[in-house]
Structure 1
Amino acid sequence: MISTKNIVLLVLPQVQLLDVAGPCDVFTSANLFLPDDTFELRYRVHMVSGTSDKIICSGSGIPLTCSHTINDIDFPIDTLLVAGTTLTVLDEINPGLYEYLQSLTTHAKRIGSVCVGAFVLAKAGLLNGKQVTTHWKYADLLQQTYPDLKVNVNPFFIRDQQIYTSGGVSSGMDLALALLEEDFGKPLASEVAKHLVLHLKRPGVQSQFGNVLPEYEMLSPFTKQIRDLLKDKLEKTVSIEYMAESVNMSVRNFSRVFLKESGMTPGKFLEKMRLDQAKNMLEYTDMSIEMITEKCGFGSIISLRRLFLKYLSLSPAQYRKNCKGTT
C-alpha cells in the first residue's frame, strides 16, 4: 500500500512559471527514486488556483490549468506553498483566500511561500513575529509593510516552526529540496539534486545577487535626490552637514526627514551606497581589493571586510570568487 503526501502549489494570476515548475519537479522527481516495493510515502503535486478560475495566466503568458481551486479541495494537505506573482496582483486577491490560509494552520503540516508569495502569507497573518525571507528586491518593502516580521534577505529559505519562506524564484527549488530531505533524508534529496543538476545546499547567500539598498525606482523622490548627489562622491569624505546644506535644510531637520523617507539614517544610507559600489567593482572589474577600498571611500580593507560579512556573510574575496566563478 502506498500512502500519499499531498503537495499544494497555490497559483495566482501572473505567477512566475519557475515558482511552480521548480518545486513541482523536485517533488515529482523524488517519486522516481523511491522503491516500489516498500510502504514509503509518495508525493502527489496539485496546482490549486487561488481564484475561482481553474485556468490561470502566468506572467510569461502561458496558461496553467489547475486541478482544483481553493473552494473545492477534497483531500488532506501535507504541504502548501504559495507561488510568487507580481505585487500589483496581490492587491486584487479575494479576502477569502486569506481566511482559507488562516484555517490551514491547524490542518496542514507545513505552509510556505516562494518569492513574493511571502506577502500573501504576511497579509494572512501567518508570519507575525517570525523569521522570514523573500526575493532580495522586495525584502525592504516586506519589512516596512509588516514591521512585526524579522526579514532576513541572506538565506535562500527560512524555516520558523511550520512556516517556510524562500527567496527569489529559483529559491523555491532550494526549499523543496530541504522539505524532501526532511521527509526522506539526505541520501534521497542528494539523488534528486544530482538528477536536476542542482546543489543540495547552494553556496553563497541570496543577497549577493542584488544591491544592499532598495532599487532606485522604489526610493522616494527625496531619497533619490540625495542618492544622485552622492553617487559621484563616494571616495571622498561626505558629512551629514554637506548633505543637509545641499538641500537647504538644517542638519536636524534633514536627518529627521531622511529617516522618515528612507527608513535609515543618512550615514547608514551612505554606507550601503559604498557597499553596493564595492560589490559592482568586485563583480565587473579586475581592480584589486585595496584599490576598490579606496575608490569606495572605506577607510581600510578591514572596514570593507566587516561590512561584507555583516550584510552578505561573505568576505570581499569570497564574493568575487562566487560572482566570477574563479578558483
Structure 2
Amino acid sequence: MFFVIADKALSLYICIHTERDMKTERPHTGMKNIVLLALPQVQLLDIAGPLDVFTSANRFLNDGREGSGYHVHLVSGTSEKFIYSSSGMPLSCSHTIYDIDFPIDTLLVAGTTLSVLDEISPDVYHFLQNISPEVRRMGSVCVGAFVLAKAGLLEGKKVTTHWKFADTLQKSYPKLEVNVNPFFIRDRPIYTSGGVSSGMDLALALLEEDFGKPLATEVARHLVLHLKRSGMQSQFGNTLPEYEIMSPFTKQVRDLLKDKLSGMITVEYIAESLNMSTRNFSRVFLKDSGMTPGKFLEKMRLDQAKNMLEYTDMSVDMIADKCGLSSAASLRRLFLKNISLSPAQYRKAFKTTE
C-alpha cells in the first residue's frame, strides 16, 4: 500500500490490493514483485498507467489465496521515500533503492523530464547495473529509456522512447537502435515503451506474457483500452525534434528554411547562405543534427504538411505545392514512408474540431 498526498486541503490515497476473485482461463504460478522506479519529476501516468494494469489483473485472478499475481512496489530513486511528480503532486514510495528487501521479478523505470536526468544520483545507475542480472525483465516508460541507456543496459538493443526525444536518444547513444514508431519494443530481457500512455501498452503486453491473452484482454476491456493499439507512436507528433532541444547550428538551418519550403532548396543554397562550402556544411550538419541535410529538409516538409492537414481545409494538392513537393502523389509517398498513413487518413484522424 502507498499513499499519494495532493495538498493540505485534499489527501488522495491509492491502495494497492492483491485480492483476486474472478476466473481466468490459464493457470498461473507465483507472486511477481513489480518495481516501478520513480525519479524526481516523474510523470504520474508513467506510474499510474502500468500500476492500474497490474493491480486490475489481480482482481481477475481466481487463486489469490495461493499467492499468484502481482505485488507492485513504488520505489524512489533517491534516499527519500517522498518525491514530487512533474505535475507537483507529492508521492510517498514504499521503498527506496537503498532498502529493497525482496526479490524483483520486473523493474520498470518511469519517465521523468530530460532536465532532471543530469541531476540523478550515480547510485541509481549502480543500482540498475547491480540488479540487472537478478531480475527476469527490465524496462522503461517514456524518458526512462535514457536512464537505462546511461546505465549501459541498452547497448546493441532495439529500443523506443517518447517520439519527441527519439532523435536525442539515438544521437546520445549511437550503439542503440532507436525506432520511434512502436508503442513498445521487446528485446528480451529489455522492454522499452514510448510516450506516457504507452506504458499501459507495455504493461498489457507483460501481463499477456505472464498470464495469457484472455486475462490481458479482460483487463484491457476493464480499463477501456485496446489490447494492441493500431497505428504507431510517430503519427502523434512532429517528425523533427522539438525546436527547444535543437543545437544552435541546427536551429540556424531550420530558421533559414522554414519560410522557403515551397521552393527548390539545395544543399548548395544552404551552404552558401551560411558562408560554408557544401562539403563542410554537409559534414558539420550531419555531426551536429544526426541526419543529412536532405533528410532534415524532408522532415521539415512532412511536419509542415501534417500541420496544414490538421489546421486548414487546403486540398492535398495545394498542401503538396506549399511544401515543395511535385504532386499529391509525392506527398502521399512521403506520408506512407514515414507514418504509414495517407494524407487523407492523417487528416481524418488528427484534424482539429471547430
**Do the two structures share a fold, i.e. TM-score over 0.5?**
yes
- Residue 152 in structure 1 maps to residue 191 in structure 2: no
Q: Is the 8 A contact 1:6 1:79 kept in 2?
A: yes
Greater mean alpha carbon deviation, residues 253-262 or residues 204-213: 253-262
Structure 2 counterpart of 1:272, one-letter code: K
Deviation at 1:291, TM superposition (A): 2.1
Structure 1 counterpart of 2:145, one-letter code: A
In structure 2, what is the Cα distance between the partners aligned to 1:2 and 1:140? Answer: 40
The count of aligned residue pairs is: 326
Q: 1:305 aligns with which of 332, 335, 343?
A: 332
Match of residue 236 from structure 2: 209
Q: 2:321 aligns with which of 294, 308, 316?
A: 294
In structure 2, what is the Cα distance between the partners aligned to 1:92 and 1:233? Answer: 40
Match of residue 55 from structure 1: 82
Corresponding residue SS for 1:277: helix
Structure 1 counterpart of 2:178, one-letter code: V
Corresponding residue SS for 1:105: helix
Match of residue 28 from structure 1: 55
Residue by residue over 1:89-116, the C-alpha shift from the partner in whole angstroms, topping out at 9 and shown as x without a partner, is 2212222221221222221111000110
Deviation at 1:259, TM superposition (A): 2.1
In structure 2, what is the Cα distance between the partners aligned to 1:44 and 1:324? Answer: 42
Match of residue 176 from structure 1: 203
Q: 1:140 aligns with which of 148, 156, 167?
A: 167
Match of residue 76 from structure 1: 103
- The alpha-carbon distance between structure 1 residues 35 and 299, as it changes in their structure 2 partners (threshold 3 A), is same
Equivalent positions of 1:173-322 (< 5 A) are 173-322=200-349
- Percent identity over the alignment is 76
In structure 2, what is the Cα distance between the partners aligned to 1:91 and 1:212? Answer: 26
Residue by residue over 1:12-71, the C-alpha shift from the partner in whole angstroms, topping out at 9 and shown as x without a partner, is 111111111111011101111112488572111100111111111111111111111112
Corresponding residue SS for 1:9: strand
- Residue 123 in structure 1 maps to residue 139 in structure 2: no
Corresponding residue SS for 2:36: strand
In structure 2, what is the Cα distance between the partners aligned to 1:168 and 1:319? Answer: 19
Q: Is the 8 A contact 2:311 2:352 kept in 1?
A: no
What is the TM-score when the length of structure 1 is the normalising length? 0.94
In structure 2, what is the Cα distance between the partners aligned to 1:50 and 1:303? Answer: 48
In structure 2, what is the Cα distance between the partners aligned to 1:265 and 1:37? Answer: 56
Corresponding residue SS for 2:227: coil
In structure 2, what is the Cα distance between the partners aligned to 1:245 and 1:106? Answer: 53
In structure 2, what is the Cα distance between the partners aligned to 1:221 and 1:36? Answer: 58
Match of residue 16 from structure 2: none
- Residue 88 in structure 1 maps to residue 115 in structure 2: yes
Instruction: Point out where structure 1 has 5 or more consecutive residues left out of the alignment.
Output: none
Structure 2 counterpart of 1:82, one-letter code: V
- Residue 16 in structure 1 maps to residue 43 in structure 2: yes
